Chains A and B, each alone.
Chain A
Amino acid sequence: MLRLFKRNGLGVQDFPGFGGFSFLFYLYLYAPIVVLVVFSFNANQSATVWTGFSLDWYRAAFANQALRQAAGNSLLIAVCASMIATAIATLAALGTSRGAKFKGLQLSMGAIMLPLVLPEIVVGVATLALFSTLGLSLGYGNLIIAHTVFCIPFAYLPIRARLNDMDLSLEQASADLYAGPWRTFRKVTLPLLMPGIFSGLMLAFIVSLDNFVISMMVSQAGTTTLPIFIFGLLRMGVTPDVNAVSTLILGVSVLFVSLSWLLGKKNT
């Protein structure tokens, strides 16, 4: 790690001090996370005084019925919302980047970005207002709808990026060889697009799993998600089992992001 920050001789592109400053920046980014992970293995009752290594808090976390329920809810919602959002986003990306231009194309792209542009709390308030007006109370359904909407831009962006990077000539070649548009799509475009769809799906999944503000506004009794559950614990005070749960969630996110990154690297 340290080698990455070392200067080897002062060239034109070396600005003295910037390397050390960047090192401190990385430290700042990771210090709280490291502290959290370390204290999740603490044997002590107190969350911030180190006494010895133990896995007790993980055991406690796994044994916690309400916690398991919340984790299950989060997983269910994230799987459904990310898959629906990715399907919608794939169609939308094909429409905006492959087909012919149509009236309102710019406006449509703007609308797709809207959930990303608006403050989360506003999206949450709006969704709550809709469900309350309609009297819609589908339990998980409400949360899946809300999550699908804000997952769409996250799934759309990598898919569109992949489409824009893709070489049109392969699709043209396929058409030249008398493959119909549907066959070209299935045999050429879709396989090439797969990495983009996959990273879109993963990003949507993580974003859904992590969402707190919108879930908090929309969720009802019985559909507590993991972030809402953690927020409840935090309100009652800092306890070591929160560290263990948090570390587990961080682990899942880091795993997914790393996987998405490695796949992307392999494909370019």
Chain B
Amino acid sequence: MHALPIANTLERRRAFQSFLGVSPALIAIGLFLIVPILIVIAYSLMEANPYGGVNKVFSSDAYTSLLFERQLDDSLAFADSYLLIALRSIGIAGLTTLITLLIGFPVAVWLAMQPAHRRGLLIFLITVPFWANLLIRTYAWILLLRNTGVINNSLIGLGIIDQPLQLLYTDGAVLLGLVYTYAPFVVLPIYATLEKMDIRLLEAAQDLYAGRVRTLRKVVLPIARPGILAGAILTFVPCLGAMIAPELLGGGTRMMLGNLIFRQFSDARNWPFGAALSLVLMAAVMLVLTVYALRAERQRIAKGGA
């Protein structure tokens, strides 16, 4: 179709206006987020200043110390301590994702089966804790889990145990806190995919003598799949860089990437190493998101294109 020249100019003007509207946001994010990331890249290639900050001298120490430890004779020896922390982070993030999915799926299915007028309130109740301060929500778990906490006190009061169980400062506590934080992130996207599901599909399945388990597996699960995937991403990605839960519930000895990075800028004062770790974390997150985006794009094309 050939646009009239005058319409074309008008269109171009409107396009320019749109661009003008977006530009303050782009300037803010460019100047205060994208440029800073470039600076982080530069910092990761500099020497650490023991008083915090960096000396502007090239050094690749930050990257070598990810995997190697400098010996007294200046030779490098393989050191797995940071690798283990990275693997721990991936493991805990993965486990959190798995548990939140197992919890979130039935809740989302149940929500989607509720009459429409009840759903609004029920959904709202799931989102409220998300907006409450994360630090405080995590702290609340300390009240429950610590040696003189509500759980131990109740168990001792009931005579089930006579010594308090060590619940706080364990991997389990970190996991509990993370699942608690991210479960709503899984429920909501799964619910969103099921919300508009045609109930007649369930009737059809059961008319054809599919049991409830089979109906769930063959009808509900395939419909919910995009939501499950989105929920998994929404949980896994922030968990990978989680800092508050490992710091408060893991007692700071159960390191994850998030609080390891944080420490490089607080106690350890090794900014280049912190910068390098941040970039590793960012690369991991970007990798996961790119794979997800490519998958979504492929599915879109498969659905709409062919």
Binding site for B on A (CB under 8 A): 4, 12-19, 21-22, 25-26, 28-33, 35-36, 39, 46-49, 87-89, 91-92, 94-96, 98-102, 104-105, 108, 111-112, 114-115, 117-123, 125-130, 132-133, 145-146, 148-149, 152, 156, 203, 206, 209-210, 212-213, 216-217, 227, 230-231, 234, 238, 242-243, 246, 249-250, 253-254, 256-258, 261, 265
Contact = CB atoms under 8 A, between A and B. Distances in A.
B206 A48 contact: no
Contacts of B12: 100
Contacts of A120: 238, 241, 243
Contact of A49 (B126, B148, B241): B148
Interface string B1-23: 00000000001101111111111
Given A28-B180, A99-B18, A108-B22, A121 B11 contact: no
B133 A250 contact: yes
Nearest to A34: B140
A15 B273 CA distance: 51
Interface centre among B16, B106, B118, B271 (most CB of A within 10 A): B106
Contact of B144 (A15, A25, A32, A100): A32
Chain B contact residues: over half helix, strand or loop, or mixed? helix
B120 A253 contact: no
A156 B22 CA distance: 11
B218 interface: no
Interface of B: 11-12, 14-26, 28-30, 32-37, 39-40, 43, 53, 103, 106-107, 109-111, 113-114, 118, 120-122, 124-129, 131-137, 139-144, 146, 148-150, 153, 180, 183-184, 199, 202-203, 206, 212, 216, 237-238, 240-241, 243-244, 248, 258, 261-262, 265, 271, 274-275, 278, 281-282, 285, 289
Contacts of B113: 13-15, 18
30 contacts: A4-B121, A13-B113, A13-B199, A15-B110, A18-B110, A21-B110, A22-B110, A25-B103, A35-B143, A92-B21, A92-B25, A100-B11, A101-B18, A102-B15, A102-B18, A112-B26, A115-B33, A117-B237, A119-B238, A122-B241, A122-B261, A125-B40, A128-B265, A129-B40, A146-B32, A209-B133, A210-B133, A238-B142, A243-B143, A246-B136
A121 B262 contact: yes
B120 A119 contact: no
B125 A26 contact: yes
Given A21-B106, A149-B32, A253 B133 contact: yes
